[in-house]
Amino acid sequence: MSTVGIDLGGTKVMAVLVENGEVLAKAKRPTPISGGSDAVIAAMVAAARKVDPDGSATGIGIGAPGPVVPGTGVLPAAPNLPGWDHDVNVVDRVSAALGGRAVKLDNDVNVGTLAEWKLGAGRGADDLLGVFVGTGVGAGLILDGRLRQGPRGLAGEIGHTFVAFDQLRNAPVGRGELEDFAGRRSLQQWVDVAPLGESTFLHSLMREGRLKSKAWAEGIEAEDPLTLQLVGRACSALSAAIASVITLVDVERVVLGGGFAERLGEPFRVRLEAEVTERAFAGQTAPVVTARLGDTGGAVGAALLLEHT
């Protein structure tokens, strides 16, 4: 039995055909920047046909940016998707275009966690946190051997948990949420508000006004003080949020992924794990391990939605 998985992102649509945990085919196309949700749905359908030309897959799973209310099939207005400005029933639309086959939809980070749990660094753990650090910070939770979705599909929004409760109304950037200290978007904002002398080196690494993960790795390499300060603080904020999850819901393993974390590599993971351990309640910590599936993880996890939700 094969299934199609689609990772719907702000810049690309990736589709895979999966059978017994193996990726048999892969297709990638740019997310349409005009034509709104109709064009985006057409791109997903085309990518699905590309990896499964004879339509033999039993179903199609989709991971999408934004909370998805379980069971509705609806992806609400998604700021990261061009022209996706209102609720769209993705499940009905994609199913209709693909011969009425089963379609499942969930959040992109939830499906990334599902993939790591079934096929990657999270295998064998019944209680697992997947944390993905890229532009922002997202997470997924496996609890008692099931993907936690929550009645409103919020579950896993770790980037919006509070790590600095006293900065709700008076911070230079954000309001004290994890994502205000960790992730490329807010790190860049902190550079923007830093005194010019301190941020000169990072400014020299910007491309089109943006700092990519590679630039942060270069700043660390060069021992630039502002880079070290901001990345150190990001690591600290992440460790606090992760330790809080371990203590609050009791997970036995943490899988760390996402473009930013991946680029900073093993030294970042080691430092993060050490601070998570220091913050553990009553010595009860959890190892932080590196995600294994890379950038196909989302699509593969989407394919797994058919069996596991």
Choice between 32 and 136, CB closer to a second copy: 136
Measure the N-to-C terminal CA separation of the chain; round to a whole number of Å. 17
Note whether 166 and 176 are within 8 A (CB): yes
What lies within 8 Å, CB to CB, of 147 at 6+ separation is 106, 110, 113, 114, 117, 140, 141, 308, 309
What lies within 8 Å, CB to CB, of 230 at 6+ separation is 187, 190, 191
Question: Residue type at 9?
Answer: G
d(CA 129, CA 142): 6
Shortest approach of a second copy to residue 92 CB, angstroms?
23
Choice between 222 and 249, CB closer to a second copy: 249
> CB neighbours (10 Å) of residue 148?
16
Q: Identify the CA nearest to 43 among candidates 82, 85, 99, 100.
A: 82
Choice between 106 and 157, CB closer to a second copy: 157
Shortest approach of a second copy to residue 248 CB, angstroms?
5
Shortest approach of a second copy to residue 27 CB, angstroms?
32
Choice between 75 and 251, CB closer to a second copy: 251
Choice between 2 and 239, CB closer to a second copy: 239
d(CA 195, CA 210): 18
Q: What is the DSSP letter of 147?
A: E
Q: Identify the CA nearest to 242 among candidates 253, 231, 229, 258.
A: 253
Choice between 27 and 255, CB closer to a second copy: 255
Summarize as ranges the residues that interact with a second copy (CB under 8 A). Answer: 67, 126-127, 139, 141, 143-144, 148-158, 160-166, 168, 175-176, 181, 233, 236-237, 239-241, 243-252, 275, 278-279, 281-282, 284
Shortest approach of a second copy to residue 102 CB, angstroms?
22
Shortest approach of a second copy to residue 33 CB, angstroms?
24
